[in-house]
Structure 1
Amino acid sequence: MSLGKKLYELRTNKNIKQEQIAYDLEISQSTYCDWENNVSIPKRENLLKLAEYFNIDVKDLEEEIYKITINNKKSAIALVNSPNSKINSTEAIIKVAESLEKLTNLFEKYLEKNQNLSK
């Protein structure tokens, strides 16, 4: 289950509207809507507020965020967010992209070497 689905389930089980949660958490309704639709991920302080609001352990919400979501069309985009991380998700994406580029270069060199050996 994604974080958005979990938030939706918690909200609808309590029969609460998005607008009410947003008001209670002092955030915009569109921000909460983005969380529920997996468009964005709440910051640590908002995760704590959500856990308190729904009277659940914050780990129940965090476990959904730790998962890596990969959307593969023509290129892969990895979204990584950890409340214990010292970098934000944008920095994490850049690091993942740099690592993938290095890995691709190594793999290309490996293929070139093996093609030369087979000749």
Structure 2
Amino acid sequence: MATLGTKLRKLRDDKKMSQSQIADMLGISQSAYNKWEADQAKPSSDNLLKLSEFHNVDMKELLEETTGIVSNNIFKDSSVSHHIFNYAQTVNMQSPELVDNILKNQEQITKLIESQNKLIENLLKK
């Protein structure tokens, strides 16, 4: 099973970039990035998002088969907030306020998606 560090190393190698170049792009030190590739530390959720966008890889692919938190149905699952909470614990987010904010944001996103689906259904009926 590929670790997050292994995946980050392969993605970086594919772009023929150094750890320093990736670290500069993220605004972190090269030694911090090195710890991610060595699986000695985990990136924050913000940095994971930046990495997934930079490498044009879905965040699900980065986490899949890595932590065991993301299942094939995470985005279809109504308990996405549970997965986010577990991931927050995995990356050592010690701030309960941060976790609460992430969960609230997820709930808001879910409500917006539900509203969007209703609007689309109404448009299709016309």
TM bucket (normalised to shorter chain) is 0.5 to 0.7
The answer to whether residue 47 in structure 2 is matched with residue 49 in structure 1 is: no
Q: Do the aligned partners of residues 83 and 54 (structure 1) sit closer, same or farther apart at CA in structure 2, a change above 3 Å counting?
A: farther
Question: How much does 1:64 deviate?
Answer: 4.1
Deviations 1:74-114 (A, max 9, x none): xxxxxxxx8601652459xxxxxxxxxxxxxxxxxxxxxxx
Structure (1 or 2) with the larger CA radius of gyration? 1
TM-score (norm 2): 0.55
Where do 5+ consecutive residues of structure 2 fail to align?
Answer: 70-81, 94-126
Residue 14 of structure 2 is matched in structure 1 by 13
Question: How much does 1:32 deviate?
Answer: 0.6
* AA at the equivalent of 2:23: A
More strand by share: 1
8 Å contact from structure 1 (residues 2, 64) kept in 2: yes
Q: State the identity as a percent.
A: 42
* AA at the equivalent of 1:8: R
Deviations 1:6-43 (A, max 9, x none): 00000001100000000011111111100000001111
Question: How much does 1:63 deviate?
Answer: 1.3
8 Å contact from structure 1 (residues 3, 35) kept in 2: yes
Aligned equivalents of 1:64, 1:40: Cα separation in 2: 17
Residue 28 of structure 1 is matched in structure 2 by 29
Question: How much does 1:53 deviate?
Answer: 1.0
Where do 5+ consecutive residues of structure 1 fail to align?
Answer: 69-81, 92-119
What RMSD in Å do the two structures reach over aligned CA positions?
Answer: 2.3
Higher relative contact order (CA 8 A, sep 6+): 2
TM-score (norm 1): 0.58
In the TM superposition, 1:59-98 aligns within 5 A as 59-67=60-68, 84-85=84-85, 88-89=89-90
Question: How much does 1:62 deviate?
Answer: 1.7
Q: Do the aligned partners of residues 26 and 83 (structure 1) sit closer, same or farther apart at CA in structure 2, a change above 3 Å counting?
A: farther
Aligned equivalents of 2:10, 2:17: Cα separation in 1: 10
Q: Structure 1 segments of 4 or more deviating over 3 A?
A: none
